[in-house]
């Protein structure tokens, strides 16, 4: 199926009744780190990609094969929208529209997106927020601390409000991070919550074990990201 808006095109298989996850890089790279872990752990299959002339020109190497920088995966009834670059702000509104249209046509059950929260000290608890009072209540009932006030930017923010307009429940999980660098440990904590929400047994161990190694590798990349807002990033 092809879903088009003015500035981007989704070319993807149709997956009915899925839970949709979105993992695009933000501060801390949480969504991107979780996304790659899920692809590996759930052995997800690539079912499509998003194309746009407004994306940075970029291919991503995965096991020596060049793949699209914004891919769509599926596994166990879960659909994952995974990008390896920061979606340019002027594309976000339109792309969100394309993703939510895809979900609407495919009768997706709900959306889960990831974000981060810079804190002075970690409380060891992943905060959450929903896109309706019911969605938020459900998260509260799961024992998650609710983030009452604040701003949610990027794809996360527009996905929450546009899903609400189509009556699709959506949640955002906020990893606690101490600084703007990629943080696989914080991502691992979010994975624990995700396992509860999805009733999965995704193993966050790779993130914890490789944390140090990943941290040093990503730190260099993150510095590039900081200094050049529009440039592609890769884990």
Would you say 138 or 201 has its CB closer to a second copy? 138
**Of the residues 1, 40, 62, 142, which one makes contact with a second copy according to CB under 8 A:** 62
d(CA 75, CA 68) in angstroms, rounded, equals 19
d(CA 97, CA 92): 9
Residues in the interface with a second copy (CB under 8 A) total 63
Is residue 120 near a second copy by the rule CB under 8 A? no
Q: How far is the CB of 13 from a second copy (least distance, A)?
A: 15
Instruction: Go through 80-111 and write b for each residue having 16 or more CB atoms within 10 A of its CB, e for each that does not.
Output: bbbbbbbbeeebbebbbbbbbbbbbebebebb
Q: Is 207 in the site for a second copy (CB under 8 A)?
A: no
Burial of residue 24 (CB within 10 Å: 0-12, 13-18, 19+) is buried
**Per-residue string for binding with a second copy, 167-206, x by CB under 8 A?**
---x-x----------------------------------
- We find the least distance from the C-beta atom of residue 227 to a second copy, in angstroms, to be 11
Binding residue for a second copy (CB under 8 A) from 34, 80, 158, 222? 158
**CB count in 10 Å sphere of residue 198:** 17
CB-based contacts of 176, cutoff 8 Å, min separation 6: 116, 117, 119, 122, 123, 124, 125, 126, 127, 186, 189
Is 157 a residue that touches a second copy (CB under 8 A)? yes
16 versus 165: smaller Cβ distance to a second copy? 165
Contact 9, 2 (CB under 8 A): yes
> Which 3 state secondary structure label does DSSP give 45?
strand
Which residues within the stretch 81-100 sit at the binding site for a second copy (CB under 8 A)?
84, 89-90, 92-94, 96
Q: Between 77 and 145, whose beta carbon lies closer to a second copy?
A: 145
How would you class 11 by CB atoms within 10 Å of its CB: exposed for 0-12, middle for 13-18, buried for 19 or more? Answer: middle
Q: Does 65 bind a second copy (CB under 8 A)?
A: yes
Q: Which residues bind a second copy (CB under 8 A)?
A: 27, 49, 51-53, 55-69, 84, 89-90, 92-94, 96, 117, 129-133, 135-136, 139-140, 146-158, 160-161, 164, 170, 172, 224, 228, 230-235
């Amino acid at each position: 199926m092809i879903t088009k808006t003015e500035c981007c095109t989704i070319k993807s298989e149709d997956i009915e009744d899925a839970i949709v996850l979105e993992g695009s890089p933000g501060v801390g790279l949480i969504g991107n780190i979780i996304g790659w872990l899920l692809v590996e752990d759930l052995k997800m299959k690539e079912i499509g990609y998003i194309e746009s002339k407004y994306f940075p020109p970029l291919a991503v190497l995965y096991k020596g094969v060049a793949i699209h920088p914004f891919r769509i995966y599926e596994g166990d009834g879960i659909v994952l929208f995974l990008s390896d670059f920061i979606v340019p702000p002027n594309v976000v509104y339109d792309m969100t529209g394309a993703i939510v249209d895809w979900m609407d046509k495919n009768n997706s059950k709900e959306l889960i997106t990831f974000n981060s929260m810079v804190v002075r000290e970690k409380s060891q608890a992943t905060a959450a927020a929903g896109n309706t009072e019911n969605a938020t209540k459900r998260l509260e009932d799961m024992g998650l601390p609710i983030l009452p006030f604040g701003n949610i930017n990027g794809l996360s923010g527009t996905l929450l409000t546009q899903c609400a307009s189509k009556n699709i429940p959506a949640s955002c999980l906020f990893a606690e991070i101490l600084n703007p660098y990629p943080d696989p440990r914080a991502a691992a904590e979010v994975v624990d919550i995700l396992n509860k929400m999805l009733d999965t047994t995704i193993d966050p161990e790779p993130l914890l074990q490789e944390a140090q190694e990943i941290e040093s590798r990503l730190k260099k990349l993150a510095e590039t990201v900081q200094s050049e807002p529009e440039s592609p990033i890769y884990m």
